[in-house]
């Protein structure tokens, strides 16, 4: 095995291999850019999100309109 030939632990070998692979992949891929779209709509309903039943009631009402 290559790790034994190089005199390093298998853990170190795997860490080095992963580090090398991840660094190579980062250089190849362009930077990620998140583009958010905004849309016009109604104001969100006023509901206490810590009140589960009230939240479910609002969500059920939104599904009925869809």
pLDDT score, position 12:
93
CA-CA distance, 66 to 62, in Å (whole number)?
Answer: 7
SS3 at position 6? helix
CA-CA distance, 18 to 21, in Å (whole number)?
Answer: 5
Residue-range domain boundaries for the chain? 2-65
Residue 15 pLDDT greater than 80, yes or no: yes
Which residue did the predictor score with more confidence, 2 or 7?
Answer: 7
The tens digit of pLDDT for each residue in 16-59 reads 999 888 876 656 666 778 899 888 887 777 888 789 998 888 88
């Amino acid at each position: 095995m290559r790790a034994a030939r190089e005199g390093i632990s298998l853990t170190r070998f795997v860490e080095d291999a992963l580090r090398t692979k991840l660094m190579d992949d980062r250089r190849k891929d362009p930077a990620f850019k998140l583009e958010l779209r905004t849309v016009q709509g109604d104001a969100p309903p006023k509901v206490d999100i810590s009140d589960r039943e009230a939240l479910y009631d609002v969500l059920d009402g939104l599904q009925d309109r869809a």
